[in-house]
Amino acid sequence: MSTFVAGNWKTHLLNDSAVALASDVAELCNGTDVAVFPPAVYAQSVRQALANSQVGLGLQDLSDLGPGATTGDICADQARDIGCQYVLVGHSERRIRQQESSDWVAAKAKAAVDAKLVPLVCVGETLQERESGRHVDAVMQQLLPALQVMQSGDRFMVAYEPVWAIGTGKTASAEDAQAMHAQIRLQLAERGLEQTLVLYGGSVKAANASELAEQPDIDGALVGGAALNGQEFAAIVAAFREKK
């Protein structure tokens, strides 16, 4: 089966360090099953650093609209024009800080697919939602609007990132992550979207990647902090490649 590992660099790094990290990734874990999501301002220089590799390039967000009067946004045509193949949509940091609704996220995912970009639709419950037993409902409420705009054959991925596990050092247990992934897979299968990869994110590191990769419904990882170190990121990629 295929797997995918993505590095979300968020607003870390400056141009030189972004280029150096991209070169490390290209050298240490080159392949079409890997992509990096640098800060958009460095996408072009990262693209150059990846030029002789198969590593994919993505943006961390996308406008739901085409070219026009949306100051500060990047539209799908522009993302493609600078050589991106992937985009993150609905990351919890944006759902929370920018108050992005699930319908808005779905519109972004649709804009990406229409432009032949592959969106990674991010979903994940808060600690409060998990502790009150509402975690599956919370994730499905985020996910279903995006699934409704997808058609069989559309290329996209889902990234399950529990909010309480992001940047906290607390990873969901492999069993808890697997349980949510199985629910997500069920929803995908009901809509003829079973080819869609489901990635896990939230404090993934070299030390826990193999255990996560062993779970039947965890097809890859969306990595934050540990993606900022080429060796560590390559070790995570290697753990998922073993699954194939």
Catalytic residues, which ones? 91, 161
Beta-carbon contacts of 14 under 8 Å, excluding residues fewer than 6 positions away, are: 42
Interface residue list for ligand 13P (CB under 6 A) = 8, 91, 161, 166-167, 201-204, 222-226
Residues 6+ apart with CB under 8 A from 5: 29, 33, 34, 199, 220, 221, 223, 233, 236, 237, 240
User: At residue 184, what is the residue type?
Assistant: I
Task: Report, in Å, the least distance between residue 192 CB and ligand 13P.
Answer: 27
Kindly state the smallest distance separating residue 91's Cβ from ligand 13P, in Å: 6
CA 91 – CA 58 distance, rounded (Å): 13
Q: What's at 227, amino acid-wise?
A: A
User: Which residue lies nearest ligand 13P, judged by its C-beta?
Assistant: 224
Give burial (CB, 10 Å; 0-12/13-18/19+) of 49: buried
Nearer to ligand 13P, 202 or 230 (CB): 202
Alpha-carbon distance 132 to 130, whole Å? 5
CA–CA dist 80, 242 (Å, integer): 31
Instruction: Kindly state the DSSP code that residue 229 receives in the 8-state scheme.
Output: S
Helix, coil or strand: residue 123:
strand
Contacts with 176 (C-beta within 8 Å, 6 or more apart), sequence order: none
